[in-house]
Structure 1
Amino acid sequence: MIRPALTMCIALYITGCGGDSSSVQELLPESELGGSPQVDIDFVNTANKSVDYFVKQSGGTETLFDPNTQVASNSNSEVASHSVSWSTPTPVVLDIGAWDTNTQSETSESLEVMLNRADKLWAIAWLDNDELALSTIRQQPSSQEGKYSVRVFSHSDSRVQVISSVISAIEAKKGQITPYLTLENCSGELFFAAESISLCNLDPGKSYLLVTDGEDLLMAAEEK
């Protein structure tokens, strides 16, 4: 059974004047822009299946799920990037959608996110009770020299604990992002539920988005 399309409406607000793969989309001709504001969307796939992503300006007659509006595809554990540039003194609303590459079956969701010029956005494809879901989060790097700064996005409610010079614990809610946690060492400090998580393949002094199913680390992506 084909479910309604998984779509998200994003309102982009301009201030001031005017991965593995990447693309750029202009909502207005470059000649009209006078220097385009731009936002970047990084599509993170933790859905355990290949996913296609679609972006279009709201309104108009074109449909969202169309070959002309497909901007990226990726397999599980991959990141694909897409940039949107525009020029208008009023908000621009985008529709963002995702579907299973193989079955082209979708679920539905809508969301408004206000973005400033040069913002970066995570769009995370994940499984909510075995159904495809798409969540958006602003990228907010918060690096500390020599330490690991991480935020956690979980597919399910889970307890996240850091055992370091200071012991802290936080409840990661399904489909939400935690505040930043700071680790001094790459192993033996971070726990999802009772599972010890190693970050020794990551670089200290950088910020990361960590995606978990509640116990295992599914993916880590640098916040820039």
Structure 2
Amino acid sequence: MITVRISFEKKNEASYISLLDLQRVMQRVLKRSGLPVWHTLGFNPHIYMTFACPLSLGQESECECVDVKTEAEAPDFAQWKTALNAIMPAGIVITRVAPVQMKADRIAWACYQITYPAEAAAVLDQYNALESAPVEKHGKKGNKIIELKQHIQQVAYTAEGDAVRIELCLPASQELNLNPSLLTGFLEEKFGLPAASAGILRTKFLTEDKQLFA
């Protein structure tokens, strides 16, 4: 049995599809496609699927993926990509279908592009001047205080017309997973920069040694 990784972009209106709804979307699309995808056994068989690092609602991504299994001996992955893209909802585009090379637990970093209106530059300079930036991180095991400056010492940004763009990589391992909304939320609470004015795009995953996750 081959484990297949379906990589896809999730942008525009699709960014407001929750993980639970995304699971339903993928179940329906894979069934409609007629592709030889393996189903679980038992009274309620369903397509076996695993998603890596679920994306927060409202954020966009160029590097999402879901793993499925197939009993096909020589699957035509180009045909899989074509078949899936033909019936995907708006905002979701399949970019690659291939056998799994790395397990999802190899992911250690997630890289993001954050876009703000140009006037955010002054606020980012204020953040860079701070010595400490504590934020509260909510989790299943309770809340804890995270020192942002340990992970984002300085926010490097570039001006692009009427916007500023931030590029950063944050921990995304099973031990520590930081969401860029911790930064945008802190900037709103501390300096009044609306978090809703930030566009967040996840661009890639990296392993511990900074290799591109595939």
Structure 2 length as normaliser, TM-score? 0.31
Higher relative contact order (CA 8 A, sep 6+): 2
Select the structure that is richer in strand: 1
More helix by share: 2
Which has the greater radius of gyration?
2
